[in-house]
Amino acid sequence: MSDAMSDTPSDENGIGIEPDAVAEDARVARTRADVSRAALEVLTGEGWEAVTHAHVARVAGYSKTTLYTHWPSRSDLLTMALEAIGDMPHHDLVGDVRTDLIGELRMLRDAIATQRLDRVLMAMAQWGATVAEIGRVRRRIVDDGEKHTRQMLGAVIQGPELEAAVSMLSGSVVCPTLMYGTLPDDATIEAAVDILLRGIELRGNER
Amino acid sequence: MSDAMSDTPSDENGIGIEPDAVAEDARVARTRADVSRAALEVLTGEGWEAVTHAHVARVAGYSKTTLYTHWPSRSDLLTMALEAIGDMPHHDLVGDVRTDLIGELRMLRDAIATQRLDRVLMAMAQWGATVAEIGRVRRRIVDDGEKHTRQMLGAVIQGPELEAAVSMLSGSVVCPTLMYGTLPDDATIEAAVDILLRGIELRGNER
């Protein structure tokens, strides 16, 4: 952290900005970035119950006191971890609804397997209900994750049908993960998409 | 606990059973029942992270030492809590697949709302993967929860289609709970069942 000054943005105009304040802002910003990354690493690596001040401080290489000073509650750390999640992984759309829905579900499955998105989901489920800030971050993450699916299906169905369809597709991947501790294979993902497409009468004649 | 003796089964034959051992067994059995109930109460009331020796001991009215002696790990307490869950709530089947699937999903939704089955699900998801005993209890609870749905759908579809269909139906209730913190309304549940039934071409012509 001693080299934080080197990253301090130069203050060319020198109007209304104290150099010390700029350095301090840069230091806090860097600390925040380091701690966010560490908190996300702990969250996906071990699960949200491991996201404590002591553990995240150790992983990030800061003192516990520094963490408590800036982010006094565990929900602050979890919020930062969730905010550090970039955009959700998405399949490159090819313009064929069946292919694209299967692609999106495979991406979700693979993100659970390799990035432990299931742990992210469980943290959001656990904390999103009671901590408003986490509820907001969850909304952003879920919206981003569902956006292609909602767009594709929203061209054909709306309202309760659309809500049901989106949840049914997510459920084909999320439910086996939570309920059996297994991920669906390709055949199961394809079966889910085919059931859905026949069910909403898009390509109702294909099998 | 001082009246535990009064529940001790009488040992009429007196062969091979030490009265003290019988009394001890009865005491342990009663303690186990009390602690299991308390652990389940904490699990559904506050979530699995609150299931600690200190908290469960306080709720059950035993000493922490007693709990640590018999059930040294937190996973022991969680296993007991999950084992204390009786049969899953089920809709009384009427013999019409659409009505019965909707009834089952409503029961699932209502069990999440009133009995906080979502907290049970999250405990099972979190611990089932790493603690074999909890994995086994999860299997029993999930099998019981899905049995009617599997039976109804299994008459029409098998293999990956059946797996997909069961997860899609569960997902219509579980996914909104985890991802948005809301429960589906009746219209959404009915839409999910109708999409599914058309999708598996059972009553494919109804809308």
ipTM: 0.85
Structure confidence at residue A1 (pLDDT): 36
Angle of helix A97-115 versus helix A117-128 axis, rounded to 10: 90
Instruction: Considering the domain delimited by B4-83, tell me its CATH architecture.
Output: Orthogonal Bundle (1.10)
Where in the sequence of chain B do the CATH 1.10.357.10 domains occur? 4-83, 97-199
| A118, two tokens | 């299931």
Distance from CA of B21 to the nearest CA of A (A): 40
Q: What DSSP element (H or E) covers A17?
A: none
Whole-number pLDDT of residue B11: 43
Tell me the CATH number of domain B97-199, given options 1.10.3720.10, 1.10.357.10, 1.10.10.10, 3.90.1150.10: 1.10.357.10
pLDDT in tens, B117-127: 999 999 999 89
Q: Following DSSP, what letter does each residue of chain B receive, concatenated?
A: -TTGGGGSPP-SS-SS--HHHHHHHHHHHHHHHHHHHHHHHHHHHH-GGG--HHHHHHHHT--HHHHHHH--SHHHHHHHHHHT--SPP-----S-HHHHHHHHHHHHHHHHHHH-HHHHHHHHHHHHTT-HHHHHHHHHHHHHHHHHHHHHHHTT--HHHHHHHHHHHHHHHHHHHHHTS----HHHHHHHHHHHHHHTTTTTT--
Mutation to test the B interface, candidates A108, A170, A178, most B Cβ within 10 Å: A178
Mark A161-171 as b/e (b = at least 16 C-beta within 10 Å).
Answer: bbbbbbbbbbb
CA of residue A171 relative to chain centroid, distance: 17
Considering chain A, tell me which residue range(s) the CATH 1.10.357.10 domain(s) occupy.
Answer: 4-83
CA distance B133 to chain A (A): 13
Query: Does residue B57 surpass a pLDDT of 90?
Result: yes
| Chain B, nearest residue to A171 by Cα | B171
Name the residue among B118, B160, B204 with its Cβ closest to that of A188. Answer: B160
Q: In this structure, what DSSP letter does residue A157 have?
A: -
Q: What is the pLDDT of residues B3-50, one digit of tens each?
A: 333 444 444 444 556 677 788 788 889 999 999 999 999 999 999 999
Query: How many Å lie between the alpha carbon of B180 and the closest alpha carbon of chain A?
Result: 7
Q: Where is A154: in which H helix or E strand?
A: helix A132-154
Report pLDDT for B17: 60
